[in-house]
Amino acid sequence: MITVYVGAFINPKSFSKVDFINHGMVSVDDQTGRINSVQQFESAEALQTAITTLSTDHKLVKLSPEQFLTPGFIDMHTHAPQYRNLGLGLDYTLLEWLQKVTFPEERSYARQPHESPSEHNARVAHIYGHMVRHYLRYGTTTCCYFGGLHAEANRVLVQQVVQLGQRALIGKTCMDCNSPSDYVESTADSVQATREFVEYVKKCDASLEIPGRVLPVVTPRFALTCSRDSMEKLAEIAISTDVHIQTHMSENLDEIQFSKELFPECHNYASIYSSVGLLTRKTFLAHCVHLNEAQRALLSNSGTAVSHCPTSNFALNSGVADLRALAAAGIPVGLGSDVSGGYGLSILDAMRQAIIASKTLHFSDQKSKPLTVSEAFFLATRGGAEALSIDVGSFEEGNFFDALLVDMTNCPSIRHQHETLEQSLHRFVFLGDDRWIRTVFVNGTALL
């Protein structure tokens, strides 16, 4: 069966270009979940004529004048076992926050002495099920999750994503040094558990009706909590199994200072990861707030991408990443919520914060141009998809239909009579929340 969506849609084309299509037609093959064709018409009449030529076995979905389609949002960086900590601990800065707030919470995903395996499973499934639904409700159709250290809880996360239909990249977090004695593992365990987790996720994905929706990610936490030996071995796993790599880099000045003490042989943070083989075309690094040109060149030359996490960078006082400098260096960039360094799941909010972050740079350097709404929208959609090399993020033939049906009926302002689609996008980005998102599609299936 082919489903044909008819009406207005917004299609990101590049960092500097978004297409606003008033009279469009997007055909989706329900079997593959992929877009068959994308057409645009000069007028409502021309669109109407095209509709009359469709064969009767097509299912037609006509959008109302208050509705438009956008690609689903892509969250390139978040932490599943920090979900319950949303909004907590944000008077701290990074290293103290990790020790006092974050590691204790992540540790609670171990099976407790009083719990049976099924009780533990049910407890974690309750939290992770809530979290995945919450992300979907806010329009995040693709989410890159850091799990925790505990294998069983990480498998539950995979099961929830499989069941609830989100597209996801999921990693088992690794840390084998400079960590609390009750939240650390041996190098051998980091490596073995990563191998097993990659295999587990690949197996779960292969059994999906449309495989390729749930992908494993090799996930060293960051250079401070991972030995050189472990990072080298994790990089080998990623190469030999052809999977993505995610980690953190250059988020906070104290973190950078500590990385210099741990790896005095390396010129800078990026060269630590480069020297252990962790910078690949499938690597994406969270934050990258404090980078110089040499580090940007290392990322760019290795094809490494960056997840920009402005909400977290403000909340933990980390600083402001120069998004434009990253993009100008040819580094693929997208957005991350970084829960719970970030206090919210919404990628709409991440867009707003990315725009505000760029304005703060502009205040101290007039030559640094603020991000536009269209650029922020690109980062949240096609930018993330390109950074992860996945077939989503825009309405193009062959892409999976991961999309949002936005309905402005609940727009809390008085709309102009002849409001343009571009103006509607601006309102959505600055005023929008979950109430504006009527339907969330992944692989052509309506999940909410």
Ligand X SMILES: Nc1nc2[nH]cnc2c(=O)[nH]1
Burial class (CB in 10 A: 0-12, 13-18, 19+), 182: exposed
Taking alpha carbons only, the member of 3, 40, 43 closest to residue 19 is 40
Residues of span 233-252 touching Zn ion by CB under 5 A: none
Residue ranges of alpha helices (H) inside 213-309 are: 228-241, 253-262, 269-275, 293-302
Nearer to ligand X among residue 72 and residue 171 (C-beta): 171
Secondary structure (3-state) at 111: coil
Binder of residue 102, out of Zn ion, ligand X, none (CB less than 5 to 8 A by kind): ligand X
As measured in angstroms, the least distance from the Cβ of 91 to ligand X is: 15
Nearer to ligand X among residue 79 and residue 296 (C-beta): 79
Q: What is the DSSP string of 297-348?
A: HHHHHHT-EEEE-HHHHHHTT-----HHHHHHTT--EEE---BTTBS---HH
Angle between the N-to-C axes of helices 151-164 and 117-137, in degrees from 0 to 180, rounded to the nearest 10: 40
Q: For residue 113, which amino acid is it? A: P
As measured in angstroms, the least distance from the Cβ of 222 to Zn ion is: 9
As measured in angstroms, the least distance from the Cβ of 306 to Zn ion is: 13
Binder of residue 427, out of Zn ion, ligand X, none (CB less than 5 to 8 A by kind): none
Q: For residue 387, which amino acid is it? A: A
Of 9-17, 86-94, 280-288, 431-439, the window that binds Zn ion (rule: CB under 5 A) is: 280-288
Binder of residue 308, out of ligand X, Zn ion, none (CB less than 5 to 8 A by kind): none
Nearer to ligand X among residue 23 and residue 248 (C-beta): 248
Secondary structure (3-state) at 6: strand
| Cα dist from 441 to 28, 63, 72, 357, 393, whole Å | 11, 15, 8, 30, 12
Of 31-39, 68-76, 277-285, 331-339, the window that binds Zn ion (rule: CB under 5 A) is: 331-339
As measured in angstroms, the least distance from the Cβ of 231 to ligand X is: 14
Q: Does 338 bind Zn ion (CB under 5 A)?
A: yes
Binder of residue 221, out of ligand X, Zn ion, none (CB less than 5 to 8 A by kind): ligand X
Nearer to Zn ion among residue 107 and residue 123 (C-beta): 107
Secondary structure (3-state) at 225: coil
Binder of residue 314, out of ligand X, Zn ion, none (CB less than 5 to 8 A by kind): none
| Cα dist from 215 to 124, 161, 168, 220, whole Å | 20, 11, 6, 16
Distance CA 385, CA 404 (A): 15
Of 23, 120, 150, 221, the residue at the interface with ligand X (CB under 6 A) is 221
Tokens of 82: 């920090």
As measured in angstroms, the least distance from the Cβ of 244 to ligand X is: 17
Q: Are 403 and 441 in contact (CB under 8 A)?
A: yes
Binder of residue 251, out of ligand X, Zn ion, none (CB less than 5 to 8 A by kind): ligand X
Q: Are 404 and 5 in contact (CB under 8 A)?
A: no
As measured in angstroms, the least distance from the Cβ of 288 to ligand X is: 12
| Cα dist from 145 to 76, 235, 238, 365, whole Å | 8, 18, 16, 34
Count of other CB atoms within 10 angstroms of residue 92: 18
Residues of span 77-106 touching ligand X by CB under 6 A: 79, 94, 98, 102
Taking alpha carbons only, the member of 118, 92, 121 closest to residue 104 is 92
Residue environment code for 309-341, b if the CB has 16+ CB neighbours within 10 A, otherwise e: bbbbbbbbebbbbbbbbbbebebbbbbbbbbbb
Of 5, 20, 109, 222, the residue at the interface with ligand X (CB under 6 A) is 222
Binder of residue 222, out of ligand X, Zn ion, none (CB less than 5 to 8 A by kind): ligand X
Q: Does 106 bind Zn ion (CB under 5 A)?
A: no
Nearer to ligand X among residue 94 and residue 144 (C-beta): 94
Residues of span 8-67 touching ligand X by CB under 6 A: none
Nearer to Zn ion among residue 185 and residue 251 (C-beta): 251
Site string for ligand X, 246-265 (x = CB under 6 A): --x--x--------------
Q: Does 338 bind ligand X (CB under 6 A)?
A: yes
Of 283, 295, 304, 312, the residue at the interface with ligand X (CB under 6 A) is 312
Q: Which residues bind ligand X (CB under 6 A)?
A: 79, 94, 98, 102, 221-222, 248, 251, 312, 338, 341
Q: Which residues bind Zn ion (CB under 5 A)?
A: 286, 338
